[in-house]
Amino acid sequence: MIPTDETWFEGTDECWLAGPAVASVLGRRIELPDDDAVRTVARDLALLRRRHGIVEPAAGPTLRLVRDPSRTDLTAEGFEVTADGDDLVLTAGGGPGLGYGFWRLLTCGPEALTGPQVPAYRVRMLNHWDNLVAQELGQVERGYAGGSIFFADGRVRADLTRVRDYARLVACLGINAVAVNNVNVHEAETRLLTDHLDGVARVAGVLAEYGLSTYLAVSFASPVTLGDLDTADPLDPRVVAWWSETTRRVAARVPTFGGYVVKADSEGRPGPFTYGRSHSDGANLLADALAPYGGTVFWRAFVYDHRQDWRDRGTDRARAAYDHFLPLDGTFRDNVVLQVKHGPMDFQVREPVSPLLLGLRETSLACELQITQEYTGQQRHAVYLGPCWSQVLAFPTGLTDTVPPLRDVLRQPHRPRSGLTAVANVGTDRTWTGHPFAQANLYAYGRLAWDPALDPTDVLREWAAATYEPTVAEAVVEILAGSWLTYERYTAPLGVGWMVQPHHHYGPSVDGYEYSPWGTYHFADRDGVGVDRTVATGTGCTAQYPPEVARVYESLADCPDELLLFFHHVPYTHVLHSGATVIQHVYDTHVAGYDEVVAMVRRWEEVAPLVPEPTRSEVTVRFAEQVRSAAEWRDQVSTYFWRKSGVPDAHGRVIP
């Protein structure tokens, strides 16, 4: 279906296709090649012109799109924009590159695009945790932006306009794959493989207009859940035949089917362990079924004991992914990608990099980030995560120069299916992401997946300039640039993590997970706090890192302050590199973090009158909540540690 103006979703106007580059590019004559690859561009161009009231001029500077197969340096996905007098030439090596180039040009204009633009990774994926029907945690698990853009009333939506707009927005960033459903696969979503295949094909068709392939999250027990077999044993020939036939049907119906995403033996999900088989047996089963169609299985490494006894000090959740998967390196098929969360725990505001990402040598890797702000303010708090991800990708910056940065590990030629993936933060919300500023995170993820070496503040500026008028953009950049560190200051300190309210994970509860089965403890007592993960006296987690990094983390003297309580249990009087004691650090940072939120709000108030409604109110309301919540965090965390330690604030502040 060709969308009309009426079906152009308005949220697109408050996103990064709203900046000055759009009018400046549309103000040119645009010459498109006679090429199927630009069919979508041609259609959308007409729509955009109507929407912006810009008529194509009869003469004047042109923009020429050229596909030049001899430009192998650009690969199929890359492009280059060059000037030819007043004209612009967008050259791409292949069809996808023409699309990415065109949308990028509309987002940030030609000045930002000097030299060849080639994506660093082949994998640049988004994972949606969308359910067909609402579950306990809502329709989108850990979603803070409304319902699913793909599904409604237990089936694929009839109207996929928003999917089309979403695909266009992420194509501006060069995203090339979308997994449409939750990795926690319930029975209803298992039927995406069968009853809903037509719907999946329709979604995939829309995503394909923008060069995106479609992935499905599947349950390892699908053959049993669907009632076809009484086993899902990966070595049983009937199971092998079942996956092969099922995959054949999906691939036949969905030409741009990319493959499967699997959460197995994780948080109660079924997996190969039930049958005494290994995770390579499980992953290879699906990989073989996908191989004839060039498909890939993204197999998640998020495997740990979620029924731990808190009294058991020998089990360390942070070790689990490495302990399970490192011994399997080299046993996976080429089309298996191990999908590893960026930290060893679970998307906390601060974690070390997962040692598994550094330890695996042979296996293709997708580093999984979380754009949806499960543990970082749930899109009610303004928290720009670009700097966090950029640090992850640059790791081990500053610790040793003998280990290559993670961003390079993810692009080693012998494991070409590696790259980045991330849990998406969009939904049916008017501005896509709940908090309008949370768009910055989706934008930054896409840009870093294209070029992981980008400066996250530059990316933030780029997003703001493409979204808001200049005065507002400047303020928004100031507000967001340091907001991740601000959030860290008023929440769990020094890398210890958690301290959130159980289940929904919003707001403070210092002991919320302390006596739980989830393996998430801080071990605060009257003398000190932190988790001893050293080899010398603790769980030995530090030994999972390359030796140069392990040495730094093992050493109380050298461990970076921000990760001190992740790796060490220390007395409250322990002096940090910053010169403050641990307890004083807790008091000071919580006051500072709250004060920074208040300053963010003041800056917002200066420009809020320039922002149209309802965006203005949407942001204002969320800032009021962030101030309230930051005060609650400050007071609960400070009071908790004052009561535990009995050490007063050196600055004489009264702790409630």
Task: Confirm or reject binding of residue 263 to ligand GCW (CB under 6 A).
Answer: yes
Catalytic residue set:
267, 346, 374
Is 142 or 319 the residue whose CB approaches ligand GCW more closely? 142
Among 79, 129, 220, 260, binds ligand GCW (CB under 6 A): 129
Among 171, 178, 179, 183, binds ligand GCW (CB under 6 A): 183
Is 44 or 346 the residue whose CB approaches ligand GCW more closely? 346
The dihedral sign for the CA sequence 133, 247, 229, 272: negative
Q: In angstroms, what is the minimal distance from the CB of 44 to ligand GCW?
A: 33
From residue 593, alpha-carbon distances to 457, 588, 623 in Å are: 20, 8, 14
Q: In angstroms, what is the minimal distance from the CB of 505 to ligand GCW?
A: 7
Report strand pairing: 336-341 vs 364-370. Answer: parallel
Helices and strands: H and E segment counts in the chain:
21, 18
Q: In angstroms, what is the minimal distance from the CB of 364 to ligand GCW?
A: 19
Between CA 537 and CA 119 the distance in angstroms is: 44
Among 14, 44, 141, 532, binds ligand GCW (CB under 6 A): 141
Give 338: exposed, middle or buried? Use CB within 10 Å, 0-12, 13-18, 19+.
buried
Task: Confirm or reject binding of residue 424 to ligand GCW (CB under 6 A).
Answer: no
Residues 634-653 that bind ligand GCW (CB under 6 A): none
* C-alpha distance across the termini of the chain, in Å: 61
From residue 566, alpha-carbon distances to 421, 439, 510, 522, 574 in Å are: 25, 30, 15, 9, 15
DSSP states of 439-471: HHHHHHHHHHHH-TTS-HHHHHHHHHHHHS-HH
Q: In angstroms, what is the minimal distance from the CB of 354 to ligand GCW?
A: 13
How many residues of this chain interact with ligand GCW, rule: CB under 6 A?
10
Is 425 or 542 the residue whose CB approaches ligand GCW more closely? 425
HSE (CB half, 13 Å, CA atoms) of 362? 10
Q: In angstroms, what is the minimal distance from the CB of 649 to ligand GCW?
A: 34
Task: Confirm or reject binding of residue 130 to ligand GCW (CB under 6 A).
Answer: no
Residues 282-321 that bind ligand GCW (CB under 6 A): 302
Q: Which of 444, 461, 465, 472 is nearest to 387 (CA)?
A: 444
Is 90 or 183 the residue whose CB approaches ligand GCW more closely? 183
Among 67, 71, 142, 380, binds ligand GCW (CB under 6 A): 142
- Cα 479 to the center of its chain, rounded Å: 21
Tokens of 28: 């040119």
Q: Which of 114, 110, 154 is nearest to 131 (CA)?
A: 154
Q: Which of 254, 121, 257 is nearest to 179 (CA)?
A: 257
Is 247 or 372 the residue whose CB approaches ligand GCW more closely? 372
Residues 356-415 that bind ligand GCW (CB under 6 A): 374
Mask of contacts with ligand GCW, 319-358, x by CB under 6 A? ---------------------------xx-----------
User: Which residues of this chain interact with ligand GCW, rule CB under 6 A?
Assistant: 129, 141-142, 183-184, 263, 302, 346-347, 374
